[in-house]
Amino acid sequence: MTLNEKSPTVYPTLRYPDASAALEFLTGTLGLTAGQVYRDGDGTIAHAELGWGNGIIMIGSWREGADAFDSGRAVLYLATADPDGLHARVVAAGADVVHGPTDQDYGSREFAVRDPEGNVWSFGTYQPDPIDAPTGT
Per residue in 60-106, pLDDT (tens digit) is 888 776 565 666 678 888 999 999 999 999 999 999 999 999 998 88
Of the two residues 10 and 43, the one the predictor is more confident about is 43
The answer on pLDDT for 117 being more than 80 is yes
Position 9 scores a pLDDT of 67
Of the two residues 31 and 7, the one the predictor is more confident about is 31
State the Cα–Cα distance between residues 43 and 50, nearest whole angstrom: 18
The answer on pLDDT for 58 being more than 80 is yes
Whole-prediction pTM: 0.77
The answer on pLDDT for 112 being more than 70 is yes
Compute CA distances 33 → 23, 27, 37, 41, 67, whole Å: 10, 6, 11, 24, 27
Compute CA distances 62 → 7, 34, 76, 125, whole Å: 27, 19, 18, 31
CB atoms within 10 A of CB 78: 19
Please provide the average confidence, as pLDDT, over all residues in the chain: 86
The answer on pLDDT for 134 being more than 60 is no
Residues 102-123 have a mean pLDDT of: 90
Position 8 scores a pLDDT of 74
Position 111 scores a pLDDT of 95
Residues 56-60 have a mean pLDDT of: 91
CB atoms within 10 A of CB 46: 13
